[in-house]
Amino acid sequence: MLLVRLAGGRAVAFAATCPHQATDLADGCLVGERIQCRLHHYEYDVVTGENVVPRRETDPAELWKSAPGYLPVFAVEERDGWVWVADEPSPPPASYDPALEQRAARPAPASSAAVDGASLVQVEVGTTFELRLPAGPGRPGFVWRVEVDGPSVAVVGQRAERDHHVVRLAARSTGAATVRCSYARPWDPEPAEVRIHEVVVEGG
């Protein structure tokens, strides 16, 4: 978390990463009682956790596109020369409605077959391919982390789209590899979701 003292003297504590795409807020800009993320310029009230920009400037029907969430804030008390911070975040701000940040689910693309709870992907050596992971609107602070077990496949790029996190991979040699995708917030001990893709790279 980050602990700051506002211009009026009040100490406040809030999560250290932006709920939108987990950007480090230590590099953000504090203006009054708002913290602005340097990546997309989202602004959050550091006292209540409310997203101010873009939520107040966006049609509620379109809010799922920006999915700002809310900033977890922590109760702070000063006494005896010490600053005491709560272990758990305060409840979400009253203005936060997770339903507004959710889009109707789309059917998953039929690009791979389910095998033992995992997903089987077959590609040819020398090619590149993509995995599309749902961005999970309405779950502030969550990001996808991708790990590859095996030399046959390597991550060569990642990008964020409107409602997906796209991972680009290269099939470098014949063989098999396991791609583990974990969905969690940086401070969570365990991921909320894990997707495993078994990749088989065949000779061209």
Read off the pTM: 0.52
| 3-class secondary structure, 58 | coil
Residue 130 to residue 198: CA distance in whole angstroms: 13
**Lookup result for tokens 């708002």:** 34
Cβ neighbours of residue 62 under 8 Å, at least 6 residues apart?
none
Domains along the sequence of the chain with CATH: 2-101 (2.102.10.10), 113-202 (2.60.40.2020)
What DSSP element (H or E) covers 66? helix 63-66
Contact 199, 177 (CB under 8 A): yes
Angle at 168 (CA atoms; ends 167, 172), nearest 5 degrees? 135
In a structure prediction context, what are the per-residue pLDDT tens digits for the chain, which is 204 residues long? 999 999 999 999 999 999 998 899 999 999 999 999 998 999 999 999 999 999 988 888 888 888 899 999 999 999 999 999 999 999 999 989 888 888 655 444 434 433 344 688 899 999 999 998 887 655 677 888 999 998 899 999 998 887 888 999 999 999 999 999 998 888 888 888 899 999 999 986
Contact 147, 196 (CB under 8 A): no
Residue 93 to residue 141: CA distance in whole angstroms: 15
Residue 180 to residue 164: CA distance in whole angstroms: 16
Residue 90 to residue 73: CA distance in whole angstroms: 6
